[in-house]
Amino acid sequence: DAKTTQPTSMDCAEGRAANLPCNHSTISGNEYVYWYRQIHSQGPQYIIHGLKNNETNEMASLIITEDRKSSTLILPHATLRDTAVYYCIVRVPNTGNQFYFGTGTSLTVIP
């Protein structure tokens, strides 16, 4: 049970912001939202995570709606190297590192 819904694919022009949406309408109050990405044939790479507040790091920003039922990952200036599958994951407490990756969004950055 992935508990998240993401678009199957998206395109973004190089240099523009990439906004990847995720719906998690059944999220509980103590469940975190995580984002990972996987570049072809490599292991998934951690991007960012958050609970309630918006978060920003050197890679991306995470915007979580006030009701926490959806979130958006923002890559501020997409490059060709950002082409990857992006996974939005709701981490269920007390399940350790048992992440449900779902099908993710395949982002293609176009030159």
- DSSP class of 5: B
Does 97 engage in binding with another protein (CB under 8 A)? yes
Using DSSP's 3-state secondary structure scheme, residue 81 falls into helix
- Cβ neighbourhood burial of 32 (10 Å; 0-12, 13-18, 19+): middle
Tell me how far, at minimum, the Cβ of 34 lies from another protein, in Å.
7
Binding mask 35-64 for another protein (x = CB under 8 A): -x----xxxxxx--x---------------
Cβ at position 58, least distance to another protein in Å: 14
Angle at 41 between CA 63 and CA 8, to 5 degrees: 45
Contacts with another protein by CB under 8 A lie at 32, 34, 36, 41-46, 49, 87, 91, 93, 95-104
